[in-house]
Structure 1
Amino acid sequence: MSSAVESPTFDLAALNHEFEGAEPRAVLAWAVEHIPQGLVQTSAFNVDDLLITDLLYRDLQPAIPVPVIFLDTLYHFPETLVLVEQAKEHYNMNLQVYKMPDIDSREAFVAHYGEALWDTNVEQFHHVTKIEPLMRGLAELNTVAWITGRRRDQAVTRAEMPYFELDKLGRLKINPLAAWTRKQTWAYVAEHSMIYNPLHDRGYASIGDEPLTTPVGEGEDERAGRWRGSGKTECGIHI
Structure 2
Amino acid sequence: MNLNIEEINDFLSDKNPLDIVKWAVSIAENPVITTNFRPYEVAILNAVTEVKKDIKVIWCDTGYNTVQTYRHAEELIEKLNLNIHLYVPKQTVAHRNVVLGVPSIDDKKHALFTKQVKLEPFSRAMKEHQPDVWFTNLRKGQTAFRDSINIVSKSNDGVLKISPFYHWTDKDLDTYLEQYNLPNEFKYFDPTKVESNRECGLHI
Taking structure 2 as the reference length, what is the TM-score of the superposition? Answer: 0.89
List runs of 5+ in structure 1 lacking aligned partners. 1-7, 200-206, 214-224, 227-231
| Identity between Structure 1 and Structure 2 (%) | 23
In 2, Cα distance between equivalents of 1:144 and 1:135? 14
Aligned pair 1:26/2:19, yes or no?
Answer: yes
List runs of 5+ in structure 2 lacking aligned partners. none
8 A contact 2:193–2:200 mirrored in 1: no
In 1, Cα distance between equivalents of 2:192 and 2:128? 29
Compute the RMSD of aligned alpha carbons.
2.0
Q: Equivalent residues in 2 for 1:80-159 (5 A)?
A: 80-101=69-90, 103-104=91-92, 106-111=93-98, 113-118=99-104, 120=107, 121-159=109-147
Change (3 A) 1:157 1:170: closer
| Letter matched to residue 151 of structure 1 | R
Per-residue deviation, 1:56: 2.1
Per-residue deviation, 1:161: 2.1
In 1, Cα distance between equivalents of 2:126 and 2:179? 32
8 A contact 2:34–2:135 mirrored in 1: yes
Q: What are the Cα deviations for residues 96-150 of structure 1, in whole angstroms up to 9, with x where unaligned?
A: 111112x23x212223x32323454222111111111111101111211111101
Instruction: Please state whether the residue corresponding to 1:13 is helix, strand or coil.
Output: helix
Aligned pair 1:76/2:62, yes or no?
Answer: no
Taking structure 1 as the reference length, what is the TM-score of the superposition? Answer: 0.77
Kindly indicate whether structure 1 or structure 2 has the higher relative contact order, using CA contacts under 8 Å at least 6 residues apart: 2
In 2, Cα distance between equivalents of 1:67 and 1:23? 22
Aligned pair 1:209/2:202, yes or no?
Answer: no
Q: Which structure 1 residue ranges, 4+ long, deviate > 6 Å from structure 2?
A: none
In 2, Cα distance between equivalents of 1:76 and 1:115? 15
For residue 178 of structure 2, what is the aligned residue in structure 1?
Answer: 190
For residue 46 of structure 1, what is the aligned residue in structure 2?
Answer: 38
